Amino acid sequence: MSAWEIITRFKELSAPSNDEVRTFEVACLAILNANNSNSVHVSEGYSETLPRYKTTPIECKKTLKQLKKHLWTRQKQLIELERIVKRVESAVQKSCEHEWVKDWESRHRSHYDCAKCGAYR
């Protein structure tokens, strides 16, 4: 059965089984992959979609190698996401008309937080 046939058939299901849901997702991903969806999204500034991994893996060398690859890919994406968050946070804080509020719970006597953007001084 082709991916499109699986998708068409899925549309008719009122209460799909877990297996039918997984099969549907695989069919959708096959179509998206055939149309370079990840490359298209990355070229337009979106993050890469990461493939799923099994949280209850078979404990063998092959699985270990695959899990490490998933981990490294996610770590790389996480580092990039942290860099983006810092850049956007800095831009937001630079453009904010701060509203400084004294932080009475701080150990430092003169600690103030901006109520609007979260900056502190």
DSSP 114: E
Binding-site size for Zn ion (CB under 5 A) equals 6
Nearest to Zn ion of 94, 108 (CB atom): 94
Is residue 113 within 8 A of residue 101, CB to CB? The reply is yes
Kindly write out the interface string for residues 79-98 of this chain, putting x where it contacts Zn ion by CB under 5 A and - elsewhere. -----------------x-x
9 and 20 in contact (C-beta within 8 Å)?
A: no
Here the tokens at position 103 are 């932080």
Q: Is 120 in the site for Zn ion (CB under 5 A)?
A: no
Binding site for Zn ion (CB under 5 A): 96, 98, 114, 116-117, 119
